[in-house]
Structure 1
Amino acid sequence: MSAAFDRDALLDAFDSIGRAAAGAGAKLQIAVYGGSALMLASNFRFATEDVDVSKLEYPLPDWLDHATAEIAARNGWDPNWFNDQVAFHLSPLADHAADHLEFGTFPRDGTTPGLEVSVPSAAYLLALKLKAFRVTDPVRGETERLDILNLMKVVGISGAEEAIALLGRYFPVSAASPEKQRFLLKNMDLEGGADAPEYPR
């Protein structure tokens, strides 16, 4: 299993990537998804094991390849800690402007920024979580359950049918056959969420 890291470590890593981009005369714009987005923008997720980002251009530029490898080596992280594997699962119906929030530019020291980061809206992130619905995963299931529970509170959804309707906004094919989501939502433990979940915080 990959080494987990916290928000401060991720922000420091983004500073390094932003610095490397600026040094190469480049500007990288990414959206961050999954647990890393929650860790950055919420008050209820505190660790992750990788960073799921929007589609990258391949081959990666040398400066980015070197920067992410150096960050991994320095921190003892998995070499693939920064990856765009989530891109395959994103919704073609999601609009970048309407369904994403600007998070920040990096580095944070006032020098020339080389990295711009955005995160999905709470509604879009919840839809992504509902599509995957990994609450029965023996390793990550409890974390996934709490993420979904807290995002439902943020969005103002309390029942399975409302959640499935939200899923349909972004993933109509999944919402057309939502038996798994309906069953898991109706039988999901509703205890243990944050008292006052925020996204963005």
Structure 2
Amino acid sequence: MQSNEIDIYLQALDEALSTRSAIKKPARLVVVGGVYMMLFLKNRTSTKDVDVIPLSFPDTMNPSDETKAFRAAIWAVARRFHLKQDWMNDIVASFSPETGPLSLWRAYPNLEIYIPQVNYILALKLLAGRDRDEDDILALCEHIGIKTREQAQTLVDRYASKEWQMECNLTSTLDALF
């Protein structure tokens, strides 16, 4: 997906949400992951999906009428544009710390899209500890000015407890990067 497609899909999602009474509107989502990197850091030209953290209803790992309606709206967009059913997903929500301050990025009648601070995105990427995130992590570190392991650790400490960091094996990620 490229940036112009993201806008089209978000508008279509807004339309799909308009017919679903189970969701309190506007539905509020935080965009993270590849979309954030593509649109705000501009270190890539495309992304394979749209990673979100729901703010106004539980993530889909905790099914409710709202989450079912949200999934149905996503699937309607997928059918309309011949996308994978998980073109938008909230898997990240189940292992994300509190987002901290947010900024409204896009507002539609039935949908509001927020973005977190860049530091939060780096913390998420470091906690995920995936090899495929290395380019994003390096771009984020350069953008923020993180040059040392200690600086990276201090940043993650703002968002995640020591227990959470151990669970995510943050030490190994930092060892590989610094």
Q: TM-score, normalised by structure 1?
A: 0.72
1:101 and 2:103 matched: yes
Q: Distance in 2 between matches of 1:171 and 1:17?
A: 31
Give the residue type in structure 2 aligned to 1:125. Answer: I
Q: What SS is found at the alignment partner of 1:21? A: helix
Counterpart in the other structure of 1:17: 13
Counterparts in 2 of 1:75 and 1:23: CA distance versus 1, 3 Å: closer
Q: What SS is found at the alignment partner of 1:53? A: strand
- The partner residue of 2:77 within 29, 53, 71 is 71
CA deviation vs aligned residue, 1:152-178 (integer Å, no higher than 9, x gap): 112111122211111111113155774
Question: CA offset at residue 21 of structure 1?
Answer: 3.0
Counterpart in the other structure of 2:52: 53
Q: CA RMSD in A?
A: 2.3
Give the residue type in structure 2 aligned to 1:32. Answer: V
Counterpart in the other structure of 1:166: 155
Counterpart in the other structure of 2:175: 183
1:157 and 2:134 matched: no
Give the residue type in structure 2 aligned to 1:15. Answer: Q
Q: What SS is found at the alignment partner of 1:153? A: helix
Question: CA offset at residue 17 of structure 1?
Answer: 1.4
- The partner residue of 2:126 within 130, 135, 138 is 130
Q: TM-score, normalised by structure 2?
A: 0.80
Question: CA offset at residue 134 of structure 1?
Answer: 0.8
Q: Distance in 1 between matches of 2:2 and 2:146?
A: 28
Q: Distance in 2 between matches of 1:178 and 1:161?
A: 12
Counterparts in 2 of 1:24 and 1:71: CA distance versus 1, 3 Å: closer
Give the residue type in structure 2 aligned to 1:19. Answer: E
Instruction: Name stretches of at least 5 consecutive residues in structure 2 with no aligned partner.
Output: 59-63
Counterparts in 2 of 1:179 and 1:61: CA distance versus 1, 3 Å: closer
Q: Distance in 2 between matches of 1:14 and 1:50?
A: 12
Q: Distance in 1 between matches of 2:40 and 2:171?
A: 31
Counterparts in 2 of 1:24 and 1:88: CA distance versus 1, 3 Å: closer
Instruction: Name stretches of at least 5 consecutive residues in structure 1 with no aligned partner.
Output: 107-112, 136-140, 187-201
Q: Distance in 1 between matches of 2:170 and 2:17?
A: 42
CA contact under 8 A between 2:16 and 2:77: conserved in structure 1?
A: no
Counterpart in the other structure of 1:189: none
- State how many pairs are aligned: 165
Counterpart in the other structure of 2:61: none
